[in-house]
Structure 1
Amino acid sequence: MRTSPEAHWFKSSYSGGSGTECVECAHAHDDTLIRDSKQTEGPVLRVRDRTWQLFVRALARDGIS
């Protein structure tokens, strides 16, 4: 899936900033878009906002984030 140019991409506040590993996210309507920050023209994963919220909460609950 290609994204529209108006998507506002952001990196996690936990990103180390070394440029070696990071994902970027953007919000689009009721979805969250996820991509590799090193391959911005590469594939994009689209998940429903509610699914993304549950995923992030599960990570925090399990001490992973």
Structure 2
Amino acid sequence: MPVINEAFTPDESDIARARAIVDAFAGTPGAGVIGVDGEMLDRPHLKRAEKTLERARLAGRTA
């Protein structure tokens, strides 16, 4: 159903946030915790961000 797909597809702000998290971890390889916008994030946040970007890619949104 298109409505359900739209509700669970990441929007532009979700994609931008996920990209910032992935980029921050990529910039500090091996770090267990990083800071993004004053928030401490760890590996589970990275995994969630990667999944968000994958959902965006599968939906045809630029990630």
TM-score normalized with structure 2 length: 0.33
Q: Name the structure where helix makes up a greater proportion of residues.
A: 2
TM-score normalized with structure 1 length: 0.32
The structure, 1 or 2, with the larger RCO (C-alpha pairs under 8 Å, 6+ apart) is 2
Q: Name the structure where strand makes up a greater proportion of residues.
A: 1
